[in-house]
Amino acid sequence: MSGHRRTARRPASGLALLLALTAACSPGSGPSDTATGRTPAPPAATGGPSTGSPFWVDPQSDAARQVARWEQQGRKGDAEVLRRISERPMALWGPGDDPGPEIRRARAGAAAEGRTLVLVAYNIPHRDCGQHSAGGAWNADAYRRWIGAFADAIGDARAIVVLEPDAVPHIVDGCTPAEHHDERYRLLSEAIGRLKAQPNTRVYLDAGNPAWIPDPEKLVEPLKRAGIDRADGFSLNVSNFQPDAAGRAYGERISRGTGGKHFVIDTSRNGDGPLPGNRDQAWCNPPGRALGAPPTDRTGDALLDAYLWIKRPGESDGTCRGGPQAGRWWPDYALGLARRARQ
């Protein structure tokens, strides 16, 4: 995801009703490259910080594996701190080659625990304008096949899908060349329709963050062209650090322009807000940041459906500040986020 998006990267809502039904029925950044190493998958998290959340906790996340590894090495204090990440639900980013196996694995785990999946579809052609998270499907037909496999893997599971972080804001800021705009709008609209064909899937089309596109009115028409009228809403602050209050105010303005659409906010790393100073350097592995509000659908805001950890805390933004490639697990950075967390 680009530096631009980060300097500027989850009466009762419909989502609350869906999640209530889920409980009643009793079940960049970029795509994650899980470093499995040789550490066996730890047991599923139970209780702890995830208690009360309707969302599924992945027992095979990098954070969970790191906890197991550090416990084996005798680093029990660090392992305990890292549980602030490993025992909380994070979005699963569908792999770019074949999203099916990972999503089906997650679907089975969520069904067994009566919880809701949180997924990210991030494979649009010409992704991230060739920057840190460059890539995506080779062409439109490849993307259609990919999003079809993504949706098929969800099946009838209860799921939230955050659709294509950056894709619309990169049209608005001019980073995506004009010759790709019409195709992108068409693919996003088709993707919404394909995902909404699944009976229990909710779709939130990404709308950047308030420091990236300061005037939210500039996003309204592009979101409409991308099919937001058929989506459940839009996502904000993915992989970024903007405070919750700023996100709520921004979301309310976009909502007014899109016929009252609801939204979700990524709180994975915004506990201390953005890094002060040079905004051109603030988006990529900024030091001194902290985990934000734990994932929940209890937001106290009629338009705000959920706080979610969409960016997986501890995955690198890119090779800045000594980090690994975008999307790779960075345990030291993860530990810092967890140590500074207030919740």
- Which residues are marked as active site? 128, 166, 317
Q: What is the dihedral of CA 9, 283, 138, 174, to 10 degrees?
A: 90
DSSP E strand stretches across 57-179: 92-93, 117-121, 159-163
CB atoms inside a 10 Å sphere around CB 221? 12
Query: What is the widest separation between alpha-carbon atoms in the chain?
Result: 55
End-to-end CA distance of the chain: 27
Other beta carbons within 10 Å of 49: 19
Answer for the pair 154, 103: CB distance below 8 angstroms, yes or no.
yes
Contacts of 293 (CB under 8 A, 6+ apart): 244, 267, 271, 307, 343
Q: What is the CA radius of gyration of the chain?
A: 18
Residue 258 DSSP SS3: coil
